[in-house]
Every structure is written in structure tokens, then in C-alpha cells.
A and B are shown apart, each in its own frame.
Chain A
């Protein structure tokens, strides 16, 4: 099995190193790094803007580029947290706690250097995990019938809505709302238009780009307009020579890095627990097992290394369920899955065998992209730091332009721009009511496939609902659903100690308007 994986990987490098693909991979990580640095721009909005522009491209470079934006943004996000104390990207919020004190002590460069090393270690482990685990999962998933797919999707939806931030009830409500939005359009079997209200443009359904840009673009700008603190650049002076950590720092950071990596990769495997949760869990763990917990929060290098490693390993691991099972773990993955569908690729266990070029090319491009990012970040750190000082008042109007033209370019249709605006206003109202928009996208992307499989499995069983319990794999997934719900009720009633500790850490993180929606 190892030898086939290595041959496949070799093939993947062949795909990823084709000049055309390599160029788009580079473009992706560059744009990703850029938006990661800019406060107030997230990978979700960026990928949605870029998505329509990939419609004319081959699927392989398109997916390489869009994925590059996602992991590239993780490298940039850390810079913002460490140098400015601005958690504009939720996965890096916890890095502020020790990163910014280090910057104040004049060790910001060291923290950034450690971050890059931790990122590379974490990402490498996540990729390796994907190489060996994904084909294994596929072998299992090929046995799945519609009933199993249905139950698995239910696990994904439930985990995605209850494990994310905020109230689990509201998460579930948002998922259901997303499923309903996914229903808009013509019914796949009968062609009956549903929830279209007589608007012809809606017969093809709601455009995924419009939904994502409304929820994560316009709603976010409405939330942060005139609501952002001015950026304090006092400490943000870093040169290349500051970035090489001393031997003592490396020694301190080594084990936290490894532990963070392992925790992050575990979090990636549970659907719904993305990089943000991974970073919080690993920080809490590291603080707990440390011999000197009092140093945390005052510039402990471990407090930077551990969450960063776990974020990156979780980001790469996130691709595993998405690519092998077709079940996305978070918003970005839902968006990438949408991109695959638009490019005519059916996500699911067949993907690896039918589109080996995409799967192995993607994995190989992760290595290449991560190496490119290390190269980009070390010598160009001065440029990234300069970008940090671009004020929000220039950023959001430019971003609004990209939103409008991006949505227009998706179908060359002005109606979509109006649709985005409408969704954006609704999104802002939902945001004010303390709903998190991420599960909507998850429900929206999975909705049509969920309905199709649900209908098909009941058609096969002649309307007998016990088919979901009779089949052992399906029953196992439903059992996980029950466990998830029970755990939520337990947490709600008893409020166990671990959660209060995690809440305490969360409360220490500085809050900005950006961090509410960005992911």
C-alpha cells in the first residue's frame, strides 16, 4: 500500500509541476497570503470572488489555485495576530495571546520565524496523513449505498452545526436554512420549480457565489464599517535577520509543535471541528501540561508554536473528508466542493479513482505550495508588514467592487448582483441575531445531494425507514448523531470544566469586528 501511495504521489508531482499548474498554484498561495495579511478579508470571500474566474479554466489548475488561497491565508493570518494583536482570522486568534507579548518584547521576528517552522511541520504532517488515510477511507466508502451516504451526511451536517462556535441550536437552525436555500430551483426528478416565486433566474437555484459573497462579503462589511479600531503599527517592525529563532527557542518550541500537529490532525478528522477549534484545544492542552503555565499569555514561545502547528495540520487534514467522502468539514471546504461540482466533478469516493490527476496533483501541490509560502514569507516579510497598514476605509470599497464584478462574471447576469445584495442584508440581520453563517453554506452545498440520496434510499427500501438502522454502517453513523446530540444536551445541562476553561481562554482573546464572521 505504501509503494502504491508513493507511485501515485510521484504521478501527482508530475501533474502539479506542469508549468501551467505550478503557475496557478503560486498565484493561489500568493493571493491567499495577501488576503491573510489584510485585516478584514477572509479566505471564504476571496475564494468566492476567484471562483467565477476559474469557470473557463481546466479543473486541475482551478482547484489547485483555490486550495492555495485557503492554506496561503493561514500563513498570512499569523502575521496579523502576532504583530498587531488583531485576530482577523479566527484560527489565529489564540496566537495573539503569546504572539503579541513577544512582539512587545521585541521578539516578534522570532515568533514569526517559529510560526513558519511550525506551519511547515504541521502542514507536512497533515499532507502525509491525507496521502495514507484518504485511499483507505475511499476503500471503505465504495461500499456505501444511498442510505449510508445519507446517514454520513447527517453526521457531517450535525457536527458542522453543533461543534462550531455559538449556540448549537442556532447552528442547526442555520444548517436547515441552508438546506432550504439549496432546495430553491427546479426539482431534480420532476422539474417542478420550488421556492422560485416565479422568478426565472432562480430556476437554476441560488448561485453558490452569490450566497457565499452575500454572507461572508457584504454582511461582513456591514458589520465592520466604522467599527474597526485603528491599527497600531508601533511594534510592527521586523527584518529578515530577526526571523531566525535561537537554538534555545527552537528547543522550547519543538515538543509543543509536535503535540500541536498531532492534535490538529485529530481535529481535522472529526467533521465540523476545523482549524479554529484545533488551535484553541491545543493551546489549552499545552498550557495545562506545561511546567510553567504562568508564562503563557506573557510571551511564551510554546504558546505560538503549538496552536500554529495544529492550525496548519488541521487545515491540510480538512481536505481528507472533503476529497475522499465528499463531506466538507467547514465553510471553505464546502465552497471547494461547490467548485468541484461546478467543474463537473462529482465529489465522493469515486473522485480519487476517476480524477486521480486532481487528487494526487492537489496533494503534491500542497507540498509545493507550502515550500513556496515559506520562501514567500521569509524574504518578503517587510512587504507583508507594510500591507498591514492599509486602512479598512480603502479595503472594503475595493472589496465591494470585487464582490460585484465577481458575481456578475459568474453568469454575466446583473440579477446575481441583486441576489447577493439581498442575501447580504439577510446575512447581516442573522449575524445581529447571533447566528453564525458558516453552517448555511454547508447545508446549501450538501442539500441537493442529501435529498437525492434520501429519496433514492427510500425508493429502494419501498418507503421503509428502518433501512437506515438495518444497514450496520448507516446505523453506526446514526449512532454518532445520537452521541453528538446527547453530548450537546449534557454540556448544556452540566457545563463541564473543560469547556469553562476553553471559554476563559476565548475570553482573553481580543475581539474585533472582523473575527465574528470571517470563517
Chain B
């Protein structure tokens, strides 16, 4: 009996949906609800929130009811903290350097940091890749497609 209550991945999945659903319904109830004939902006958010919360309960409920063991874990077998960090850091650097530096530093930093996330990558291989992508990106997006993104802010190239 007790093993039924060991945590399964679907409890988290259902719980997350329940949370999101309730959150949406509560936020949505701040908007005008209206009537069926004249729906206000709050009608759909509340209804969808309730449905989502209900789905969350069903997901957790079926996991509770099924006797099959669920050995799938939330965390992968070998968590790639450094890899994930690099993938997240890349776009953040792209935003900061793009805003204050321009396209060249943004692209170089983004590709360089992302590439470092691979186990086999070295500083040198990442830098070469980043350099190549930057040259290609500048040619394609700046000169060929002409998107409005200065190459280096403050410098007229």
C-alpha cells in the first residue's frame, strides 16, 4: 500500500498543471467575466484555467491509480549542469552585448559560450567555431539581408 505513495514523475507533472491552471484562473478572475451572451475578457482565461487544473488532477490521479511502477525520474541520468548553464548563458550574453556592444561581440560571445558546453570542446575549438559563425552571420544578416543591427555600436563600419 505504501509504495503507491512513492513519488512518481506524474505527480509533479499533474501538480505543475494544477498550479498553472489555478494561477491562470485566479489571475483571469481579475478581468471582467461577463455573461455567456456577452463574454468579458475574463471568461476564457478562467474557463481554461479550470480545465487545466482539472487535467492536472487527472494526470496525478491516473498515476496514483496505475499500479505500474514509474521509474522515470525528473532529472536525467547524467545531469549536464555545465552544458545547460552554457546554453542559457549564450542568449543572455547575446542580449547584453547586442544591446551595448553590437552584433559582432554578441554573436561571437553567444556561439563561443554555447560551444563550451560540449564535453569535448576546448577554448580553441570554440573560438574557431565562434569566429566562423560570426563572419558568416555578419555577411548573411548584415550585408545580404540588411537587418537593422549595428555591427559595433559607436563605430561606423
Interface positions of A (Cβ within 8 A of B): 53, 167, 169-170, 172-173, 176-177, 179-180, 183, 187, 189-190, 192, 194-195, 218, 221-222, 225-227, 392-394, 396-398, 400-401, 403-405, 408-409, 412, 414, 417-418, 420-421, 425, 428-429, 432-435, 451, 454-455, 458-459, 461-465
Contact = CB atoms under 8 A, between A and B. Distances in A.
Interface in B35-70: 35-45, 48-49, 51-52, 55-56, 58-59, 62
A169 B91 contact: no
A2 B64 CA distance: 57
A394 B114 CA distance: 10
B88 A183 contact: no
A195 B90 contact: no
Most buried by B among A400, A435, A459: A400
Given A189-B41, A226-B118, A417-B94, A398 B111 contact: yes
Which secondary structure dominates where chain B touches chain A?
Answer: helix
B83 A417 contact: no
B41 A172 contact: no
B129 A459 contact: no
Contacts of B105: none
B36 A434 contact: no
B91 to A, nearest CB: 5
A400 B111 contact: yes
B87 interface: yes
A222 B24 CA distance: 27
B26 to A, nearest CB: 11
B154 interface: no
Contacts of B49: 180
A170 B48 contact: no
A183 B64 CA distance: 32
A450 B20 CA distance: 21
Given A194-B31, A412-B149, A417-B95, A432 B76 contact: yes
B36 A458 contact: yes
Contact of A225 (B36, B39, B83, B145): B83
B88 A170 contact: no
Residue of B12, B52, B148 with highest tally of chain A CB at under 10 A: B52
B32 A218 contact: no
Interface in B78-134: 78, 80, 83-84, 87-88, 90-92, 94-95, 98-99, 106-107, 110-112, 114-115, 117-121, 125-126, 129-130, 133
Contacts, number: 181
Given A176-B51, A222-B84, A222-B87, 16 more contacts: A176-B48, A177-B17, A180-B45, A195-B24, A221-B87, A226-B80, A393-B121, A397-B114, A397-B130, A398-B133, A400-B87, A401-B133, A412-B147, A418-B95, A421-B91, A462-B37
B9 interface: yes
Interface in B128-157: 129-130, 133, 137, 141, 145, 147-149
B147 A192 contact: no
Given A170-B59, A195-B45, A225-B84, A400 B74 contact: no
B27 interface: yes
Nearest to A197: B27
B55 A433 contact: no
Contacts of B88: 421, 425
B2 interface: no
B90 to A, nearest CB: 5
A419 B115 CA distance: 22
List the 9 closest pairs (A to B, CB-CB), nearest first: A463-B37, A463-B36, A187-B41, A393-B118, A225-B83, A397-B115, A397-B114, A173-B55, A433-B13
B1 interface: no
Contacts of B10: 433-434
A173 B121 contact: no
Contacts of B48: 176, 179-180, 183
B86 to A, nearest CB: 8
Nearest to A400: B114
A180 B38 CA distance: 20
Contacts of A190: 32, 40-41
Nearest to B82: A226
B37 A397 contact: no
Contacts of B126: 397
B115 A393 contact: yes
Contacts of A194: 28, 31, 41-42, 45
